[in-house]
Amino acid sequence: MAEPAAVDLIRAKRDGGTLSDADIRWLIDAYTRGAVADEQMSAMAMAIFFRGLSAAELRTWTDAMIDTGQRLDLSAVPAPTVDKHSTGGVGDKVSLILAPLVAACGVAVPQLSGRGLGHTGGTLDKLEAIPGWRAGLSGREFVHLLSTVGAVICAAGDDLAPADRKLYALRDVTGTVESIPLIASSIMSKKIAEGTSALVLDVKVGSGAFMREIGAARELAATMVRLGTESGVRTVALLTAMDVPLGRAVGNAVEVDEAVQVLRGGGPGDVVEVTLALAREMLALAGLDPSQTAHDPARALADGRALATYRAMIAGQGGDPDAPLPGAAHSRVVTAPVAGWLRRLDALAVGVAGWRLGAGRARKEDPVSAGAGVICLVKPGERVELGQPLLELRTDEPDRFGKAIDALEGGIEIGPQAPPARPAVLERIA
The catalytic position among 164, 202, 270, 296 is 164
Number of domains within the chain: 3
Residues 215, 339, single domain; the answer is no
Residues 158, 225, single domain; the answer is yes
The catalytic position among 86, 95, 185, 186 is 186
The catalytic position among 126, 190, 295, 311 is 190
Task: Verify whether residue 164 is a known catalytic residue.
Answer: yes
In a domain, residue 207? The reply is yes
Residues 171-224 have pLDDT tens digits of 878 888 889 999 999 999 999 999 999 999 999 999 999 899 999 999 999 999
Residues 182, 286, single domain; the answer is yes
Residues 112-123 have pLDDT tens digits of 988 876 677 789
Where among 258, 284, 316 does a domain terminate? 316
Residues 337, 246, single domain; the answer is no
Residues 103, 212, single domain; the answer is yes
The catalytic position among 85, 93, 165, 191 is 85
Task: Verify whether residue 38 is a known catalytic residue.
Answer: no
The catalytic position among 13, 25, 59, 171 is 171
Give the strands of the sheet with 425-429, arranged side by side.
82-86, 198-205, 234-241, 425-429
Where among 316, 346, 370 does a domain terminate? 316
User: Which CATH number covers residue 40?
Assistant: 1.20.970.10
Where among 286, 316, 346 does a domain terminate? 316
Residues 352-402 have pLDDT tens digits of 999 999 998 877 778 899 999 999 999 999 999 999 999 999 999 999 999
Residue predicted with more confidence, 289 or 362: 289
Backbone angles phi, psi at 32, to 5 degrees: -65, -35
Residues 256, 342, single domain; the answer is no
Domain enclosing residue 393, as ranges: 330-415
Residues 232, 98, single domain; the answer is yes
In a domain, residue 294? The reply is yes
Residues 280, 234, single domain; the answer is yes
User: Which CATH number covers residue 150?
Assistant: 3.40.1030.10
Q: Which amino acid is at 341?
A: W
Residues 232, 97, single domain; the answer is yes
Prediction pTM value: 0.94
User: Which CATH number covers residue 343?
Assistant: 3.90.1170.30
Residues 165, 244, single domain; the answer is yes
Q: Are 242 and 207 in contact (CB under 8 A)?
A: yes
Residues 308, 354, single domain; the answer is no
Q: What percentage of the chain reaches a pLDDT higher than 90?
A: 88
Q: Are 184 and 202 in contact (CB under 8 A)?
A: no
Task: Verify whether residue 289 is a known catalytic residue.
Answer: no
Query: 259-264: which pairs have CB atoms within 8 A and are 24 or more residues apart?
Result: 259/93, 259/96, 259/97, 259/126, 260/307, 260/310, 262/97, 262/301, 263/97, 263/100, 263/101, 263/301, 263/306, 263/307, 263/310, 264/307
Residues 335, 312, single domain; the answer is no
